[in-house]
Structures are given as structure tokens and as C-alpha cells.
């Protein structure tokens, strides 16, 4: 189930808020400019479906979202535990970083944590199938899908070059390991 834990960035042990209520997650994240929505799947998709099938199934949602965001492209990223690049991919986004464009993801299958850090707080959003999250440009964050990552996510880009990670050099992510 989707969830949100909010911590003071000085207190990793002790969340000040913990919820699995989608309305509360949406409201708390909206307060920091992070968009969170749940989408009903238009069809039942299998993790084995080809990227084109997944993109086509979500086309009505994507067209609306991309129109609203002025986004130019979308693709499908699948990660499974048997992918030999999984550890390297995990490591790549596990430290606090920013991008020069919004990071927009929709989870078709599986799960992953987007963890945002701002205003002295850490927001650990567990995203699951059916969840859309849009982390604004320049908001400090990291991503972790654990040691055995399993997810299929739609990625929406305004400019793929903007998706390069700029690391802040802060080791805060290591103090907030996701469950």
C-alpha cells in the first residue's frame, strides 16, 4: 500500500507523521509542491507486456499529463531483481540529488521510494502500482527500490538532458534507509 512518512531531518528514528491514506499523502506532498495522484488502470497489464503496450494503455492519461506539463516524451523503465545492472542502478540515485527538470514517474507495477528533503524535513513516499509522483526541479531527493527492485514505471520528460542527477554531496540519504 502506498505510504508516506515525514521526519525532521535531524531525527531519522521518529516519524512525525506516518500514513497510508492516499488523500493525506496527496495533501502533505502538495504542501511541498510535489504532485501525487492515484490513477485507475485502464486495463490489466502484465509485467511482461512490451513498453509500447504499456504506453498505449496509458495514452489518455499521458496525453493529459504531458499537455499540462509541457512534456515532450515518455518511456517505460522496468527493473527486476535479476537485472545484472540493478545494484549499479540502485546506487546511481541513492544519494541526495536534484535535477533541472521535474522527475515525473507513474508506477505500473511494483514499488519504490521517492524521498524528498526540504524545509528541514524528510518525506519518504512509498509509491506503488497506480501512483503518479512529480518531484519538481531542484527539489532535493533520492530514490530507492531496495536490494531486490521490482517495478515498471512510466517516465515523462520535458527534456531528457534535464534528467541528469546533480548530487548535493550531503550523506543524509544514508541516515534514512527505506524499509
> Residue with the closest Cβ to Fe ion?
103
Q: Quick one: 24 or 155, whose CB is closer to Fe ion?
A: 155
Q: Which stretch binds Fe ion (CB under 5 A): 5-13, 58-66, 103-111, 116-124?
A: 103-111
Q: Which stretch binds Fe ion (CB under 5 A): 1-9, 100-108, 121-129, 144-152?
A: 100-108
**Interface residue with Fe ion, options 28, 96, 101, 103 (CB under 5 A):** 103
| Alpha helix ranges (H) inside 46-170 | 51-57, 59-69, 86-92
For residues 11 to 50, the per-residue mask of contacts with Fe ion, x marking binding by CB under 5 A and - elsewhere, is: ----------------------------------------
Q: Which stretch binds Fe ion (CB under 5 A): 7-15, 37-45, 50-58, 102-110?
A: 102-110
The site for Fe ion, by CB under 5 A, has a size of: 1
Query: What distance in Å separates the CA atoms of residue 3 and residue 136, rounded to the nearest whole number?
Result: 19
Residues 6+ apart with CB under 8 A from 65: 71, 104, 132, 156
Query: What distance in Å separates the CA atoms of residue 168 and residue 95, rounded to the nearest whole number?
Result: 8
Query: What distance in Å separates the CA atoms of residue 147 and residue 172, rounded to the nearest whole number?
Result: 19
**CA separation, residue 21 to residues 5, 68, 90, 101, 129 (Å):** 11, 26, 27, 28, 15
Q: Is 131 in the site for Fe ion (CB under 5 A)?
A: no
Amino acid at each position: 500500500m502506498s505510504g508516506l512518512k515525514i521526519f525532521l531531518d535531524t531525527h531519522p528514528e521518529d516519524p512525525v507523521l506516518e500514513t497510508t491514506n492516499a488523500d493525506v499523502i496527496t495533501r502533505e506532498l502538495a504542501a511541498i509542491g510535489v504532485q501525487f495522484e492515484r490513477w485507475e488502470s485502464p486495463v490489466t497489464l502484465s509485467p511482461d507486456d512490451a513498453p509500447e503496450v504499456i504506453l498505449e494503455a496509458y495514452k489518455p492519461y499521458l496525453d493529459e499529463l504531458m499537455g499540462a506539463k509541457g512534456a515532450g516524451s515518455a518511456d517505460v523503465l522496468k527493473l527486476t531483481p535479476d537485472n545484472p545492472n540493478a545494484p549499479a542502478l540502485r546506487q546511481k540515485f541513492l544519494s541526495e540529488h536534484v535535477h533541472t527538470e521535474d522527475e515525473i514517474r507513474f508506477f505500473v507495477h511494483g514499488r519504490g521510494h521517492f524521498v524528498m528533503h526540504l524545509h528541514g524535513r524528510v518525506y519518504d513516499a512509498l509509491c506503488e502500482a497506480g501512483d503518479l509522483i512529480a518531484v519538481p526541479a531542484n527539489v532535493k531527493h533520492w530514490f530507492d527500490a531496495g536490494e531486490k527492485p521490482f517495478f515498471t514505471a512510466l517516465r515523462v520528460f520535458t527534456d531528457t538532458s534535464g534528467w541528469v542527477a546533480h548530487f548535493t554531496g550531503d550523506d543524509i540519504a544514508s541516515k534514512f534507509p527505506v524499509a
